[in-house]
Amino acid sequence: MSTAPSDGFEDGGVEDALLRPVRTGNAFEDTVSRLLQTVRLGVIAPGESLPSERDLALRLGVSRDTVREAIRTLNDAGYVQTRRGRYGGTFVVDDLPERAHHGPAPAPDFDLDDVLRLREILEVGGVRMAAARSLSASERDTLWTRLQELRSADPVDYRRLDSRLHLTLAEMTGSPSLLPLVADVRMKLNVFLDDIPLLPRNIAHSDEQHETIVIAVLTGDSDRAAAAMEEHLAGSASLLRGFLS
């Protein structure tokens, strides 16, 4: 577990995309939403610290009072805890709440097929573009590290680290505008994924597909990256439709 607050997230591009300025008319609500995305999508992992209130206020374009109130809300909801002292700060809890309510989950107000279609448009095109870029050594190391973290993940961490890998692939496109779109789709997708079991055979197959995608991106093979991502997303879609239809 981290013992001191960090100066920012390890994933700089993902961080910048998710913690972009909020709409002034809904500053508090948007601040809570952005912070929840960074936690639930694994950009800030359990045990890691949020940036300082001052840093968050600057990035989000809101007052420190708004940030403080948003953090208090996440604290009350069980997502973070604040510690005092030399190594104090606001840290993501080790065990995230499964749901923010009691009883059966309400039906989402968005359509599964629409989410899956949009995901395919964004992520297949995204890896094609990522593979066509000349990635820096740092970008290559980050992408490979995300893959290895996912391959060695415990089941309880799998979906968080899966989200993180897909966000990193979007980051590799070099398009800051793509990241928040992929993050929004992933948040919606996770509503459905939370209602189906993690199957060991499917995890093993997904790991193989993830490796194919990452290697294709790293070797600059755009067609193979796009085809592998399309196959990977189709498998996820089949499972979701099978369990939820």
Task: For the chain, give every domain's residue range.
Answer: 12-92, 112-244
Using the predicted structure, report yes or no on whether residue 106 has a pLDDT greater than 70. no
Mean pLDDT (whole number) for 192-207: 88
Highest average pLDDT, of 95-99, 155-159, 221-225, comes from 221-225
For residue 24, the tally of other CB atoms under 10 A from its CB is 9
Give the separation between CA 154 and CA 152, rounded to whole angstroms. Answer: 7
Mean pLDDT (whole number) for 210-233: 97
Token pair of 43, please?
């950009």
> 112-244 sits in which CATH class?
mainly alpha
Mean pLDDT (whole number) for 138-162: 94
What's the whole-model pTM score?
0.77
Mean pLDDT (whole number) for 74-82: 91
Q: What is the 3-state secondary structure (H, E, C) of 141-152?
A: HHHHHHHHHHHC
Using the predicted structure, report yes or no on whether residue 59 has a pLDDT greater than 80. yes
Q: What pLDDT score was predicted for residue 99?
A: 52
Q: What pLDDT score was predicted for residue 2?
A: 40
- Between 2.40.30.10, 1.10.357.10, 1.10.10.10, 3.40.50.2000, what CATH number should domain 12-92 receive? 1.10.10.10
Name residues whose C-beta falls within 8 Å of residue 92's C-beta, 6 or more positions apart in sequence.
Answer: 39, 44, 45, 46, 47, 48, 49, 50, 79, 80
